[in-house]
């Protein structure tokens, strides 16, 4: 009889404290393999294993490619690399970013679900936006369990809230109670993994291969979705929309992947970048127009010089309009809109 023995954990902003509390609450002889993804900048030196070792005696280290999976071990995704779980071993890859991160939570959760089915327990902790939601959906789809930090306790509640909103979560608990629950669940007997359709299996396998840094062009991901009207914020390729239950995700032909929330955030951030690009162009035109005007004035051509100075002033006025647009611009996410709606409703009630 197979047992629950695979624990995958993901967090982003505010996650370091949650990781420490969670690992500190686990038994030192826990009969499970633990895999951790924490969003970090690619240039950050990986110190998470050392930090976790202060709170648990379970050995913790960055995973390496083709490392065998053993119970009573904590495997941490190294900086700027995805960590994938395959049957009996680990893959460390430099595949395309998902939700603008590498390592990302969804590839780990998805690969664990595909390889180990209902032996998997997925844990989502503090973080912004919604990386991990699609991964938890995959874990549930393959018969595993989904556990989420109580959003009221999380330092950043977006990731837990999004998961609760879109996935049938099994346990929503403070971190200390999550650790206790994992101890209870680890080692439980499980029956056979529930059947998954051939199409779903192939789609999941294809996405794992993309995260494993195989070229996405020949993997025909478009078979599992519909072309959208959006382009990838990173490479500007056309995004294919993939539906999974209530979830809508997007992936381009080079492999970059986005949730709807992350795509919205990326698009609205690019608006500000583009506006600043327009300001830069206008400022450069003002400098050049004034310089040409000065040259004409020195050449005793005041009428022509005045025209150049006038055009420079008109450009300055247009630049100020764009600067006003920048000041009024608002980076958006589904959560920020939801919070605004909640605040508005509360104001109206008052």
- The most distant pair of C-alpha atoms in the chain lies apart, rounded to whole Å, by 96
Is 285 part of the annotated catalytic residue set?
no
Identify the active-site residue in 5, 39, 130, 141.
39
Identify the active-site residue in 12, 111, 157, 259.
12
| Count of residues making up the chain | 350
Is 228 part of the annotated catalytic residue set?
no
Distance linking the first and last C-alpha atoms of the chain: 58
| 104: number of Cβ within 10 Å | 28
d(CA 341, CA 346): 9
Is 253 part of the annotated catalytic residue set?
no
85 neighbors 68 (Cβ within 8 angstroms): no
Identify the active-site residue in 5, 106, 111, 131.
131
* CA angle, 74 then 144 then 1, to 5°: 85
238, β-bridge pairs: 231
Contacts 24+ apart (CB under 8 A), 14-17: 14/125, 14/126, 14/127, 14/154, 14/155, 14/156, 15/39, 15/125, 15/126, 15/127, 16/48, 16/51, 17/126, 17/155
Q: Hey, which bits of the chain come out as E strands?
A: 2-3, 6-11, 33-38, 60-62, 73-76, 82-86, 89-93, 120-124, 145-149, 171-173, 189-190, 226-231, 238-244, 247-252, 257-259
7, β-bridge pairs: 34, 121
153 neighbors 188 (Cβ within 8 angstroms): no
52 neighbors 120 (Cβ within 8 angstroms): no
Tokens of 199: 């199409």
d(CA 104, CA 173): 23
268 neighbors 331 (Cβ within 8 angstroms): yes
| 272: number of Cβ within 10 Å | 14
Mind telling me the catalytic residues? Answer: 12, 39, 131
């Amino acid at each position: 009889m197979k047992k629950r023995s695979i624990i995958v954990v993901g967090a982003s902003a505010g996650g370091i404290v949650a990781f420490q509390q969670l690992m500190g609450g686990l038994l030192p002889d826990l009969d499970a393999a633990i895999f951790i993804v924490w969003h970090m900048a690619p240039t950050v030196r990986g110190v998470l294993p050392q930090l976790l070792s202060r709170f648990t005696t379970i050995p913790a280290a960055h995973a390496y490619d083709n490392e065998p999976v053993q119970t009573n071990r904590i495997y941490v995704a190294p900086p700027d690399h995805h960590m994938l779980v395959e049957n009996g071993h680990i893959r460390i890859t430099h595949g395309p970013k998902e939700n603008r991160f590498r390592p990302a939570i969804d590839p780990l959760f998805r690969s664990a679900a595909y390889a180990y089915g209902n032996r998997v327990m997925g844990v989502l902790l503090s973080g912004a936006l919604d990386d991990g939601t699609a991964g938890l959906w995959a874990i549930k789809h393959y018969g595993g369990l989904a556990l989420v930090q109580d959003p009221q306790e999380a330092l950043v509640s977006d990731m837990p809230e999004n998961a609760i909103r879109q996935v049938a979560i099994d346990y929503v608990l403070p971190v200390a109670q999550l650790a206790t629950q994992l101890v209870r669940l680890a080692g439980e007997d499980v029956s056979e993994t529930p059947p998954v359709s051939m199409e779903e299996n192939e789609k999941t396998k294809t996405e794992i291969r993309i995260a494993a840094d195989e070229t996405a062009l020949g993997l025909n991901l478009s078979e599992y979705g519909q072309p959208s009207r959006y382009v990838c914020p990173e490479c500007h390729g056309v995004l294919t929309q993939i539906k999974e239950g209530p979830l809508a995700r997007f992936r381009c032909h080079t492999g970059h992947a986005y949730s709807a929330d992350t795509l919205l955030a990326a698009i609205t951030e690019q608006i500000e970048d583009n506006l600043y690009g327009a300001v830069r162009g206008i400022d450069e035109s003002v400098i050049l127009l004034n310089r040409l005007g000065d040259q004409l004035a020195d050449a005793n051509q005041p009428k022509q010089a005045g025209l150049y100075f006038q055009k420079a002033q008109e450009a300055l006025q247009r630049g100020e309009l764009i600067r006003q647009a920048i000041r009024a611009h608002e980076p958006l996410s589904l959560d920020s809109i939801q919070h605004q709606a909640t605040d508005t409703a509360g104001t109206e009630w008052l």
